[in-house]
Amino acid sequence: MIDPGPVIDAVVTGLAAALSPLPVGDLRAPAGSPKLYLVVEYPPSPPGDGDLANPEAHLMLRIRLRAVAIDTDPAVARSASTDVRHRAATWLMDRTAPIEGDGWRVSGRSRGESMVDAEGVTVNALAAFELWVVPASSAP
Contacts of 72 (CB under 8 A, 6+ apart): 121
Domain presence at residue 117:
yes
- pTM for this predicted structure: 0.87
User: What mean pLDDT comes out for the span 64-73?
Assistant: 96
The per-residue pLDDT for 46 is: 52
- At 90, is the pLDDT very low, low, confident or very high (cuts 50, 70, 90)? very high
* Distance, CA of 50 to CA of 58 (rounded, Å): 5
Task: Answer whether residue 35 shows pLDDT above 50.
Answer: yes
Domain presence at residue 140:
no
Residue bearing the bigger pLDDT, 3 or 30: 30
Please name the residue ranges forming H helices in 1-115. Answer: 4-19, 74-93
Give the SS3 label for residue 48.
Answer: coil
Domain presence at residue 42:
yes
* Distance, CA of 92 to CA of 99 (rounded, Å): 9
How many domains, in total, are found in the chain?
1
Q: How many CB atoms lie within 10 A of CB 91?
A: 17
- At 140, is the pLDDT very low, low, confident or very high (cuts 50, 70, 90)? low
Domain hosting 111: range is 4-135
Pairing of strands 36-41, 24-26: parallel
Task: Answer whether residue 49 shows pLDDT above 90.
Answer: no
Q: Are 37 and 114 in contact (CB under 8 A)?
A: no
**Domain at 71, CATH number:** 3.30.2000.30
- At 8, is the pLDDT very low, low, confident or very high (cuts 50, 70, 90)? very high
Task: Answer whether residue 48 shows pLDDT above 60.
Answer: no
Q: How much is the mean pLDDT over the chain?
A: 88
Task: Answer whether residue 40 shows pLDDT above 90.
Answer: yes
User: What mean pLDDT comes out for the span 98-121?
Assistant: 91
Q: How many CB atoms lie within 10 A of CB 71?
A: 17
